[in-house]
Structure formats: C-alpha cells, structure tokens
Amino acid sequence: MTHQARERRRRLPALAAGALLLPVAALAFAPPAAAQDDVVYASDFEDGTVGDWAPRGPVTLAVEDGALLTTGRSADWHGPSVDLTGVIAPGGVYEIAVSVRFADGSAGDALTATVQRETADGTSYDSVVYQAPAGGDWTVLSGEYSIASPATALTFYIESPTVDASYWIDDFTVTELEPPGIEPDIPSLKDVLADDFRIGAAVDPRDITGDSGQLLSKHFSQITAENHMKPDAIQPTEGEFTFSAADELVDYAEANGMEIYGHTFLWHTSQVPEWWFEYPEGHPNAGEPLGNSDEDRQIMIDRLEAHIGALAAHYGDRVQAWDVVNEVISDNNAEVYRHSRWYEIFDGPEYVYEAFRIAREQFDAVGATDVKLFINDYGTENPGKRDNLYNLVADMLDAGVPVDGVGHQTHINLNTSITQIEDSLLKFADLGVLQAVTELDVAIGAPGPDEEFPQLEARLIQQGHYFRDLFAMYREHADLLESVTVWGLHDGRSWLRSETRPLESPLLFTDALQSKWAYWGIVDPSVLPEIPDEEEPEYARVQVPLADTAPAIDGERDAVWDGASTVATEVVIEGTADGATADVSLLWDEAGLYALFEVTDPSLDEASANPWEQDSVEVFLNPGNTKEGGYGPADGQYRVSFTNAVSVGGNGPDAGELTSAAAVTDTGYVVEVAVAMAPEQAAIGTEHGLELQVNDGTDGARTAVHTWYDPTGLSWNTNANWGIAEFVEDVEAPGEGGGKLPTTGAALTAALAGAAALGVLGFVMVRRRRAAADWGE
C-alpha cells in the first residue's frame, strides 16, 4: 500500500469533518441504543486464517491459537488493517471494538485504533481510540464512530507509538448502535415556518442524495449552493463556463418544490480566480495584474457582463434571487469599504454600483425581470458595520441603482446580542428593501482538538434556547424577511467544523442527521430542558494602577512602566505554544488605558493583505464590563502591527480613539498604545472588560494566536468572554493584583479535564434568558 508522508497526515482524535466519534452528550437527541446484538462485521480468527485483514506497511501477520499476531514493525503506522468501506454507512452510529495485548517480551505500553477515511477532498485519519494503555494482558479498545457523508474508502487499523512493538488482536466487531436515516415523524421545519418565511439550507451535491437528501427535502423549502455558483466554480478559466454541479442542485430543488437562492457573482476571496484581476490574453501585459486606469476598469466591467450574462442566460428566472456582491464592507469600521482587488482597481466602491446595473440589464435581457438582486455581508449585527452597509445601500438607491435586497449572513455565537440582530432588520426596513438571513449558524464555542469539553451538553441546550429566542424575533418580524437560510445541512457539513474545532456544532441537526435542541427551540420550545444553572466563570482579573505620569507613546519602555501591572498572553487559540507571545504592562489615568506589549517573535511578517494575519497585537476593551454580548456603543477592538499599521474591528460609535507606536527589538517587537476613555469610566474603582491578543504571521498566513484569557477565539465577535481590568490607585499586593490570574490557560484545560472526571459540567457561560428582545441575566 502507499503510505502518506507523516507530516501530511491529519489526525482527528475526537471529531472529523465528515466523521463523527460521538461523546456521550452528543447522543442526547437519539433514542436509547438497542441491545448490542446488531453486529454488522466480526473477525475472531478461529478458522486459523487472517481473513480480510491485510498488512499496513511491511509487517508480518500470522494467526496462532485463534488470534492475529503482528510482527516486523519498523514505523509507528505499521500494523494490521481491514477494509470497512461497505460496512459503515453515512448517518449510522457504530461501536468498533477489538481485544488487544502486547506479545510476550515486546516493548510498548499504548495502542491506537484508527480509521483512514478517503473522500474526494483527501485523506483523513479518525482516531477511534487514541494511545490507550495496554500491556501483556488482554484488554478491549472500543469507541463509537460515524461518517456524515459517503467515503470512497474506510480502512480500520491498529498501530502503536512504539515502532518495534509486536501485538495480538482478537474478537474484532463492528456493532450498529443507531441505523442510518432521518427522523421521519418529527415536524417539518418548512411546515412550521410556512406562514412566516422560507427556510433554506446551503448545500452541495453530497447533500441531495440518500438520507441527506431526505433530510433536506423534508425540512427545507429553499437551497443555496454553498460553493458551486461561486465564480471559481462557474468560470474557472476565462470564457469557459461549467454549470454541471450547480445544475444538479437546481434540478433537485425544482423536483422537490424548492426555491433557489444564488450565491454569488462578485466576491473578494480565493474563490474568485486570479485571472479576473489580470490583463487578458492578447493584451500587451497579458497575465500581469491590472492597474486602476479607465481601460483596466473597462476590462473588469466586460468580465462582469460576460459572467453575469452567462448565468442569466443559463438560469433565467429558475434562480429566484442572487447575491450580486458579497462582503464589500470592511471589518475596520473606520475604513468603511473592504480594500479588495475590486476596490483597488476601481479606486473606490463604484464596482458595486456597476455590478448591480449589469445584473439588472442581463436578467431583464432574458426576460427574468422578477429575479431579486441582493447585497450580502456578515457582521451586520455590529452597529458600526451595519451603519456602513446601510449608508452604501442608501446611496445606491439614491443613485437609482437596482438593489432589491440586503442579505444578513448572521454567522454568530451564543453571546451575540439578539437585540442587535433585530436592530439591523428594523434599520434596513426604513429603506424599503427586501431582507434575508442568508448564512445562519450559531457557534457554541467548542474547544480545540485533544481538549476536554464536559460542558458540551449544556452548550447544546443553551443553543436550543438561543434558537428559540432568535426565531421568535424573526417570526415577530416575518413581514421583513424573505427567507432564513442555515449555512449547512447538519453539523458535519458546517464550515466551522474542522481539525481545530472538531466539536463545533452550530446547526440544527447532528452529523447523524438527528434533530438537536436547536431544532426543537424553533419547532416546539416547550420540550427544551432548562439550561443547567452554573456559577459565573471566575474571569481573569488584573488590577491596573494609576500612572504617576502619562507614558509617552513612542514605542519605548519609559520608567513609568516599572510601576505597571503585567500579564502574559499564554492561552493558545490557534497554532501551538511556540507561536508569538507577549508580556503586557497596563496603566491608566484620567485619559484612559495604556498598554505596552513586549512581543517575543523571532520572525516578523506582514505579507498578508489581511491585517489580522500580520504580526500584530490587539486590545479589546469593554468600558464598564457590561459583557452583554456583541459590541456595545463604547466597545472597541484595536489592532497594531509591528510596523505600527493600525486597524480596528467592530467598534461601537462611542469607542475611544487609539494612539500607538511600535518598534522592532532583538527578540521581536514592542507596541505601545493609549485608548481614550470617557471620564466616568477612567476612575478609581471602575471595572472594564479587557482582552489582549498576539497574532503570529508567517509567509502571509496567521499561524498562531495567543490571548491573555478568552479561550473561545471569539473576542472579535463578542465581549462576553473577556477578562476584567479593575482601575485602582495602587495594586493591593505586588505580584497579585499585577496580573495573577484565576484558572485560565493551561490550568483551565486541566481544570476542565478534572471536572469531566468528576462528572460535573465545569466552566459554562452564565445562564441567560431573553425577554422583550433583549438579553438579561
């Protein structure tokens, strides 16, 4: 067999994208397992042969006394393997069990049971049991396993980290615990919401066959092509159009009485082929990047006309609405527009106006006059970004641009303010445009791989309550909404599910296509369990002393910093502990907060066009420590790179101004900042939500992120999980108020593991309820 290079392997010890190894809590929505007698595959070697088992690597397999012995290993991945491709069905839940022991006299103390899963997207390695203790006596390795979508090959194998170990296996069984399939007798979402708005799902051709197709047609009245109508899918090479995958989706939708929402003509990401931004063949500068001359802009306009025209001619009014442009508003509220290649070539937002004019002309030309044209963006619940999008749409309407609607992507989490989502719907209603929720998912804040998550069930219940409240608000304003679309059919198909977030579960159905509390929150909230009562987390705290004199913001450590409190960014959000970190000194005075980041980073990089992927630091400030979710009027996210390039995030309209300086050092760099605050907040005894972050860029990509406290990676989206800074005249006890933390970072992970062992839920968000479209304790 061919062995994939070790460094390219993707080992998923808990939950793979497309493969599910279920924790107990994840089975809460399924009926109790039947008696364990539905064995769908077994090997006991009693016939004296290896049967279906084959060597994985150059090993020797031999059967002796009714068991299989593996010898001759010279690498940790070597071992016995068996093909389960025809045994494991998508959506089913299986227990895989095998008896193991090391051979007499063999080294080794641990064994791993793994499934190698091949799909069109590549190879994954799903650990059923990872490095379980084993010795010279027989022991049983067992774990639950499921795949969410078909695999081209599934190979189970046993390996050991001790490369020369020899071991026995026996009594291998695969037992079906839960048959594949959907729940046929539960209410259909599309029927429950029929009087309100269409309910949609983002899908691709994997989702329209078998059990997935049944789930889709039962519950949804509209589909969006997740990827197959984007520019790279439709026109990968200039002038060559490919519609086959998109046609499959359109044909399926029409056959099942569904509407189709098109996504998207114009975008800024790698899913727009690079040729869009280069001179065409036959031009003297063919293949070179376009500039921003009138000639260059005309090339882009011609390309838009050809691309949109081809889609209009092919689909006409079979697709009832389209995202004409997607994500053109910057995350930096002060910048307003995303400075994409489109923006650079047109030297402003005029390309947005042109795209809508072209789209209306092209669809009208084929008689599809009723096709609706939308502008789509994420973060519209953020007041600053919402206002920037609102102003753009208002200007377009004033200019006679045919924009019909606004799409709110709504990629949110359990702490996102529902009131702010509602405010955005009401604000755009003033413009008289159509509105749609286009890409809804609600992240539960699952941790990274190999981390305990004892609060999983509590988060899923909380998610059910959140969907209850969110859809109660949506239904209250149903007259404003064309449709609500969830971004994925089930959790296993979510874009948020990955190696780095293997337990993230943001949608309405499980990987096994079963209903979640999120679904029941929409359909029948009366069945929701109470959210478990939990103590409020012991947020990290730091006492910030009053500065004797204001620091000079010059990128140098003045003597005044010797009296500061200092904290460290030790919580790993992305990458490893080896990524860039900082010691951060903190002071305040009547003008506001001061911070000095002393960053350790031996290699500095700002190659990426995205500021968050450059070597940089961030300060998140929530004056008054309101922790209401989202960003309040005075909240701010401030980012400063090692070259002192400044960008801001979803800052509220009253967020304080930033002053900054940066300097490169022998071990990394220093960033010094001052954030202005209102007089009533810059006072002794006040408390403020605070988070501090270091971004590590390498070769144009972000390779690590470290924070002071927030372990969720969602500081950019919500203030609910930040630490707390208390403004004091003097620190109470040197070395304590100056940055001593409660359980956080590595200690937090250990505490959660201990909580799991004791059977308690551990760290869970404060219980929240929604009343009168607002969050309160």
Active site residues: 327, 377, 439
C-beta separation of 298 from 257 below 8 A: no
C-beta separation of 513 from 212 below 8 A: yes
Rounded distance between C-alpha atoms, residue 483 and residue 174, angstroms: 43
Phi then psi for residue 210, to 5 deg, are 55, -145
C-beta separation of 114 from 131 below 8 A: no
Contacts of 771 (CB under 8 A, 6+ apart): none
Rounded distance between C-alpha atoms, residue 330 and residue 344, angstroms: 13
C-beta separation of 180 from 100 below 8 A: no
Rounded distance between C-alpha atoms, residue 79 and residue 166, angstroms: 9
Phi then psi for residue 173, to 5 deg, are -140, 145
Rounded distance between C-alpha atoms, residue 591 and residue 333, angstroms: 23
Amino acid at 621: L
C-beta separation of 454 from 403 below 8 A: no
Measured at the CA of 560, the angle between CA 558 and CA 561, to 5 degrees, comes to 75
Please count the residues of the chain: 777
CA 621 → CA 29, 503, 593, 627, 644, distances in Å? 39, 29, 9, 11, 19
In a 3-state reduction of DSSP, which class is residue 643?
Answer: coil
From the list 654, 647, 713, the residue with the least C-alpha distance to 678 is: 654
Distance spanning both ends of the chain, measured CA to CA: 58
Rounded distance between C-alpha atoms, residue 442 and residue 486, angstroms: 9
Q: What is the DSSP string of 560-609?
A: GGGGSEEEE--EEEES-TTS-EEEEEEEEETTEEEEEEEEE-SS----SS
Count CB neighbours of 162 within 10 A.
Answer: 17
Rounded distance between C-alpha atoms, residue 705 and residue 687, angstroms: 26
DSSP 8-state secondary structure symbol assigned to residue 431: T
Measured at the CA of 482, the angle between CA 495 and CA 768, to 5 degrees, comes to 60
Contacts of 247 (CB under 8 A, 6+ apart): none
CA 548 → CA 551, 559, 584, distances in Å? 9, 10, 18
